[in-house]
Structure 1
Amino acid sequence: MDIKFCGAANVVTGSNFLITTDRHKILLDCGMFQGGKELERLNYEPFPYNPAEIDYLILSHAHIDHSGRIPKLVKEGFKGKIISTKATYDLCRIMLLDSAKIQESDVEWENRKRIRAGKEPIEPLYTVDDAELSLKIFETYLHGQRIAIEDDIKIRFMDAGHMLGSSIVELWIKDGNDELKLVYSGDLGMPNRPIIRDPEFIDDADYLIMESTYGNRLHDEYNQSAEKLIDIINKTAHRGGSVIIPSFAVGRTQEIIYGLNKYYENKELEEYLKIPIYVDSPMAVAATEVFQRHSSTFDSEAKRLILGGDNPFKFSNLRYVTDQNESMALNKNKYPKVIISSSGMANAGRIRHHLKHNIWDARNSIVFVGYQAEGTLGRIILNGARKVKILGEEVAVKAEVLNLQGFSGHADQKTLINWVSNFKKKPTKVFVVHGEEESTSALSRLIEEKLNIETVIPKLGDVVTIEKQHVSITKGKDLATEMLRRSIEEKLADLRNQLEALNTRKEELLKDKLLEKEYDSLKNILIQLEDNIMDLNIMIGR
């Protein structure tokens, strides 16, 4: 088996890994390179493989640096299946279509200049039609379901705790006479975060492909950052200013809304403290609707809120903005407010207009709540630039600039090391990817020193050949009956408040004979039941 590293090798973006066996070619993610112009040029390079020869694309989650080149892959001949969770597919419906519109719009603007200069027009990276076509070939599953996509390949998605639908990918692969297990971390989240469940631990792997975004950093606690944000909002409003938050439309924005809901809904506040909160991003509005359709994937705290009748994405001083005229009016009205807008790295979208109209005023605050890639406007501002160019105009940076790392959707160094240490059977090698050089090197060194596992830091285009020798694998059908029983008990515990009638018959479900014969089917049905019941609960929440 070969693994070719076609993206996210010594960089954070462009995740794309090709697995080649004696019978199949499988891609893990197909993301867009983001950051400086040189890096983004890689999006226009030919794929280092023939898309028409790829059998499957397994997608860990919907973020554009993992999914953004899927329409290009389809445009250039891919006719296989795209496998993801249902939530990831629903988010891709928003994000890939939005990305396609941006590609078309940017090229239209560029071609006007080219025609005036007597140059040949160029084509977009892909079109809305390409994105629509790619969405027709998704096949979706839920976390925890083990699926045989071929006789010699099984996959299972486990919750990565990074964003709605995000997954760790477990792959059982038979290659010739060899059989091995490859685990791909995708992007791992932080534990004890709102809405999304904690990253799940994996029992075993022969080889691990692992992200390292924050492999050299420790984050602040989420609760500390949430409290700081409230403090920033109140202090900024007191001096007559507004708070501008560049935020990723999917995941981070919903997390901030959730935190603000807890503050404004559950505390006795004077009306003057209820500062207007505007979510100014059509994509964020659409993504929030997707979140509400997938409440079964939420953590226990969010579920309790919903079951208690509270919709965590609504409160009295929150307004969702989709209309462009209303968005423009926000900058004309000078009363204190909070504007949450995308993109999260401030490289595109409505946030650029809000920064242009607010960053020059010392009364205002600019609050970053996520990763800022090298070369982006967000990174330039964070690095202390006194002037920045926004929408063709040079603007002074006089607003207070703050960075709340406790909101980060990526695991920090401590969480990454803890996740690897919880493998009961450690991988033979860890391939460290999805990080800038300093973070990748730091995490690699720590894994070797603390866990005594060999690591490899691949470069873009590197190919690793794996020949299975004497690595034993525990197959699903060989698991002890007690392990099967414990797994079903855990799922029943999650469902107990919603499925009381079923819970009274749990002894029937836990009979050895039934478990031995129908374990996988039984667990898949329970997962589907949980999904449907939580969907009903979010629908009736006020």
Structure 2
Amino acid sequence: MKITFLGAARTVTGSCFLLETEKTKIIIDCGMFQGSKNITELNRREFMFQPSELTAVILTHAHIDHSGLIPKLIKNGYNGKVFCTKVTKELCGILLPDSAHIQESDAEIAMRKNKRSGKETPQPLYTIDDAYTALKYFQEVPLYDKIKISEDVAVRYRSAGHIMGAAMVEVYVKEADKEIKLLFSGDLGQPKQPIVREPDEIRNTDYLIVESTYGDREHFEYDKEAELAKIINETYARGGNLIIPAFAVGRTQTLLYYFQKLIQENKIPEMPIIIDSPLAIKATDIILRNPQEFDEEACDIYRNQNQKLINIKTLRFVETSEESKALNSLDTPAIIISASGMADAGRILHHLKHNLWRPECSVLFAGFQARGSLGRLILDGAKVVKIMGERISVKAKIYNLRGFSAHADREQIFEWLEGLECRPSGVFVVHGESDVADVFANDLRKVLGAATYVPQYGDIALIDGYNWKIKESEIITKVPAIQELRQELRGMEKNYYEYRMRLEQLLNRDESKLKEIRRRLQKINKYMEENLNGL
């Protein structure tokens, strides 16, 4: 058999892994690339396989970077089943049409601009109709049932503890007289998250395909509730709004959970809490009506509040664009939660445009911000950002509430792997930025004593029983110019690691240097962006 890595390879998004045996072809996930323009352009490439030849699609969870290209896949000829859990199916029922709506809107804006300049207008990857057509192919699968996909392949879902409905996937492949087990972690959740159950333990697997989003760091251990209360109270005292870019699925509901707790404990004022995202409103409804997925603490709250997990008197849901625009003239401080979580699309852009320049306001990030996203630029200290074609000064107080991520960190993944009773034959590290994945793979090699590899886009793992080797991507290596570029970048990577080590040694001696180091790094980063963006 072989695995071709067609996404989430040295990048966090675009999850897609093609698994081929003599009789079967399946893909695990079919996700959209997100982030900078260079990365998102990959969404427009033709699939590196014939969609009509696939036996099945195995979907780990509903996030768009895992599910977002399924409508394109079906539009291009796939007519099989998309297997997923019950809640994943329900969430995709709102996320995929929303993704299509954004693409149609972006295409319409581009058409108006390009018409004036005479440029060709790009078409949306898929339409809202395409998204609803795709949903007809979804088939829910219960956790823990072993489902036969074909004569030689079966799968089993286990809880990943990431967002509600998220699963890791065990794939069983019959080869000659052996049954080889591969475990795709999907996005592995952080333990002790509100509402969501813990990730399931694993005992064995022959091959592990594991995420590494936070593979080079640990989530900061601190009192998150106290920090959240402090941010809210400080912003309220200044008379400003607290703007929170939040993912519609998962993060929004977690924040509501904490707001409810803080209000009940009289730690924050009963100020307006506004969910300004039709998608987040629908997602909240789906999550709140699936109590069978709650963890033990959430189940207790649900029972004690007359079958209501969230019961906040000042909570308001904003549906229409007119209601959303009216929020710009609020005469009292409010908490406004809006999508998207990386601040790269949706109504959050309007709220940032109207609040980012106001020093009395605050912007709170509570999740991963991909390179190239507006959220990442703001967090990295940009003084001015461009929002909907307008330059906006960044004068609001910027907060990064760490530890709210739905992803497990380095140590939490190691703790999860402690359940393994035997060493895997191979470990493939995915879903991480290139430098992060390299660090994590090296650490895994030491901890597990297993061979590890960080694939490039298009690399193929050729697996024969318990032996494997890598065939490097022909997609990349067949272009001579790219080979030269890779060589140049390897030299830069070597310099990066050397400087990183020297800077860490400097900080070990003198922590007061951190501010100056960050200032210089931001200057270097800005210089690189200005030069490379011009390409």
Q: TM-score, normalised by structure 1?
A: 0.84
Identify which of structures 1 and 2 has the higher relative contact order when contacts are C-alpha pairs closer than 8 Å and 6+ apart.
Answer: 1
> Residue 342 of structure 2 contacts residue 368 of structure 2 at CA under 8 Å; is this kept in 1?
yes
> Residue 146 of structure 1 contacts residue 155 of structure 1 at CA under 8 Å; is this kept in 2?
yes
> Which residue in the other structure is 1:290 paired with?
286
| Corresponding letter in the other structure for 2:407 | H
Map residues 40-51 of structure 1 onto 2, 5 A cutoff: 40-51=40-51
The alpha-carbon distance between structure 1 residues 114 and 268, as it changes in their structure 2 partners (threshold 3 A), is closer
How many correspondences in the alignment? 467
> Which residue in the other structure is 1:335 paired with?
332
Map residues 208-219 of structure 1 onto 2, 5 A cutoff: 208-219=208-219
- 1:314 offset after TM fit, Å? 2.7
Moved more, 155-164 or 168-177: 168-177
Q: How many Å separate the matches in 1 of 2:34 and 2:334? A: 30
Moved more, 27-36 or 333-342: 333-342
1:162 maps onto 2:159 in alignment: no
Q: How many Å separate the matches in 2 of 1:121 and 1:434? A: 31
- 1:203 offset after TM fit, Å? 1.4
Deviation readout 1:174-199 (Å, 9 max, x if unpaired)? 13444200000000011111000111
Q: Identify the match of residue 319 of structure 1 among 316, 320, 337.
A: 316
| Corresponding letter in the other structure for 2:225 | A
Q: Identify the match of residue 451 of structure 2 among 445, 448, 454.
A: 454
> Residue 212 of structure 2 contacts residue 437 of structure 2 at CA under 8 Å; is this kept in 1?
yes
- 1:151 offset after TM fit, Å? 3.5
Q: How many Å separate the matches in 2 of 1:396 and 1:134? A: 42
> Which residue in the other structure is 2:276 paired with?
280
Q: What SS does the aligned partner of 1:254 have?
A: helix
> Residue 190 of structure 1 contacts residue 411 of structure 1 at CA under 8 Å; is this kept in 2?
yes
> Which residue in the other structure is 1:255 paired with?
254
> Residue 22 of structure 1 contacts residue 176 of structure 1 at CA under 8 Å; is this kept in 2?
no
> Residue 224 of structure 1 contacts residue 406 of structure 1 at CA under 8 Å; is this kept in 2?
no
Q: Identify the match of residue 359 of structure 1 among 356, 359, 367.
A: 356
1:267 maps onto 2:265 in alignment: yes
Q: What SS does the aligned partner of 1:402 have?
A: strand
1:54 maps onto 2:51 in alignment: no
The alpha-carbon distance between structure 1 residues 119 and 443, as it changes in their structure 2 partners (threshold 3 A), is closer
> Which residue in the other structure is 1:409 paired with?
406
Map residues 219-238 of structure 1 onto 2, 5 A cutoff: 219-221=219-221, 224-238=223-237
- 1:332 offset after TM fit, Å? 1.1
1:430 maps onto 2:397 in alignment: no
| Corresponding letter in the other structure for 2:325 | M
Q: How many Å separate the matches in 1 of 2:436 and 2:333? A: 38
Q: How many Å separate the matches in 2 of 1:282 and 1:112? A: 26
The alpha-carbon distance between structure 1 residues 384 and 469, as it changes in their structure 2 partners (threshold 3 A), is closer
- 1:357 offset after TM fit, Å? 0.5
> Residue 219 of structure 2 contacts residue 402 of structure 2 at CA under 8 Å; is this kept in 1?
yes
The alpha-carbon distance between structure 1 residues 469 and 414, as it changes in their structure 2 partners (threshold 3 A), is closer
Deviation readout 1:152-177 (Å, 9 max, x if unpaired)? 22211111010010001011111344
Q: How many Å separate the matches in 2 of 1:90 and 1:365? A: 33
> Residue 423 of structure 2 contacts residue 449 of structure 2 at CA under 8 Å; is this kept in 1?
no
Moved more, 111-120 or 429-438: 111-120
- 1:257 offset after TM fit, Å? 0.6
Q: How many Å separate the matches in 2 of 1:84 and 1:76? A: 21
Q: What SS does the aligned partner of 1:208 have?
A: strand
Q: What SS does the aligned partner of 2:428 have?
A: strand
1:305 maps onto 2:288 in alignment: no
Q: What SS does the aligned partner of 2:282 have?
A: helix
- 1:150 offset after TM fit, Å? 2.6
> Residue 243 of structure 1 contacts residue 337 of structure 1 at CA under 8 Å; is this kept in 2?
yes
| Corresponding letter in the other structure for 1:299 | D
| Corresponding letter in the other structure for 1:336 | P
- 1:469 offset after TM fit, Å? 4.8
Map residues 144-163 of structure 1 onto 2, 5 A cutoff: 144-163=144-163
| Corresponding letter in the other structure for 2:32 | M
Q: What SS does the aligned partner of 1:198 have?
A: coil
Q: What SS does the aligned partner of 2:124 have?
A: coil
Percent identity for Structure 1 against Structure 2:
47
Q: How many Å separate the matches in 2 of 1:112 and 1:324? A: 21
Q: How many Å separate the matches in 1 of 2:84 and 2:37? A: 30
Deviation readout 1:319-361 (Å, 9 max, x if unpaired)? 1111211111111124211001000000000101000111111
Q: How many Å separate the matches in 2 of 1:314 and 1:439? A: 40
Q: How many Å separate the matches in 2 of 1:63 and 1:134? A: 16
Map residues 60-75 of structure 1 onto 2, 5 A cutoff: 60-75=60-75
Q: How many Å separate the matches in 2 of 1:233 and 1:328? A: 22
Deviation readout 1:419-468 (Å, 9 max, x if unpaired)? 12221233111100000022111211111112211101111000111001
The alpha-carbon distance between structure 1 residues 352 and 469, as it changes in their structure 2 partners (threshold 3 A), is closer
Q: How many Å separate the matches in 2 of 1:321 and 1:366? A: 19
Deviation readout 1:200-244 (Å, 9 max, x if unpaired)? 1111100010000000011124x7223211110011101111111
| Corresponding letter in the other structure for 1:309 | Q
- 1:307 offset after TM fit, Å? 1.6
> Which residue in the other structure is 1:443 paired with?
440
The alpha-carbon distance between structure 1 residues 176 and 116, as it changes in their structure 2 partners (threshold 3 A), is farther
Q: How many Å separate the matches in 1 of 2:413 and 2:262? A: 30
> Residue 288 of structure 1 contacts residue 313 of structure 1 at CA under 8 Å; is this kept in 2?
no
| Corresponding letter in the other structure for 1:127 | T
1:242 maps onto 2:241 in alignment: yes
Map residues 523-538 of structure 1 onto 2, 5 A cutoff: none
Q: What SS does the aligned partner of 1:43 have?
A: helix
Moved more, 61-70 or 124-133: 124-133
Unaligned runs of 5+ in 2: 469-535
Q: How many Å separate the matches in 2 of 1:365 and 1:156? A: 44
| Corresponding letter in the other structure for 1:467 | D
> Which residue in the other structure is 1:4 paired with?
4
> Which residue in the other structure is 1:523 paired with?
none
1:32 maps onto 2:37 in alignment: no
1:21 maps onto 2:17 in alignment: no
Q: How many Å separate the matches in 2 of 1:268 and 1:110? A: 49
| Corresponding letter in the other structure for 1:232 | I
Q: How many Å separate the matches in 1 of 2:369 and 2:466? A: 42
> Residue 24 of structure 2 contacts residue 152 of structure 2 at CA under 8 Å; is this kept in 1?
no
Q: What SS does the aligned partner of 2:464 have?
A: coil
Unaligned runs of 5+ in 1: 472-542
> Residue 432 of structure 1 contacts residue 458 of structure 1 at CA under 8 Å; is this kept in 2?
yes
| Corresponding letter in the other structure for 2:19 | I
Moved more, 307-316 or 79-88: 307-316
Q: What SS does the aligned partner of 1:150 have?
A: coil
| Corresponding letter in the other structure for 2:286 | V
Q: How many Å separate the matches in 1 of 2:271 and 2:44? A: 44
